Amino acid sequence: MSDAPRETIRLDKWLWQARFFKTRGLATKLVQAGKVRVDGTPVSKPSRAVGVGDTLTFPQARQIRVVTITALGDRRGPATEAQQLYHDLTEIRDTGPAAPRYEGKGRPSKKDRRSLDLNRRSPLE
């Protein structure tokens, strides 16, 4: 057994280095709001030390991200380097097509616009 202390890094700094947030300030605000969990425990201090093996749960965009830290970064590098810092456990959801109503026909013709206008009018007019 090794008695050497475990290498750690600040939570907000790691989230920023792993490119989950554009600025370290955004990562700090999210942690202070209590929206980040480390191994299932809510955290509200950005200075919370995290290390290899910790599991983080936090909201990003419109989904909940779950990642396990696999490495501590020395710097905020390119995205390919940042992806080596964690293992993503987030379930991938199929969101469907981005614009389901668009059929690729381009601009509506005058006839199409008239029929759209007729459909939009209320029955009381």
Question: pLDDT > 90: what percent of the chain?
Answer: 62
The mean-pLDDT minimum among 11-25, 74-88, 96-110, 111-125 falls in: 96-110
Q: What is the pLDDT of residues 26-51, one digit of tens each?
A: 999 999 999 999 999 999 999 999 99
To the question of pTM greater than 0.85 for the whole model, the response is no
Distances (CA, A) of 109 to 6, 28, 73, 88: 67, 51, 55, 47
CATH superfamily of 9-92: RNA-binding S4 domain (3.10.290.10)
Q: Which one has a higher pLDDT value, 103 or 76?
A: 76
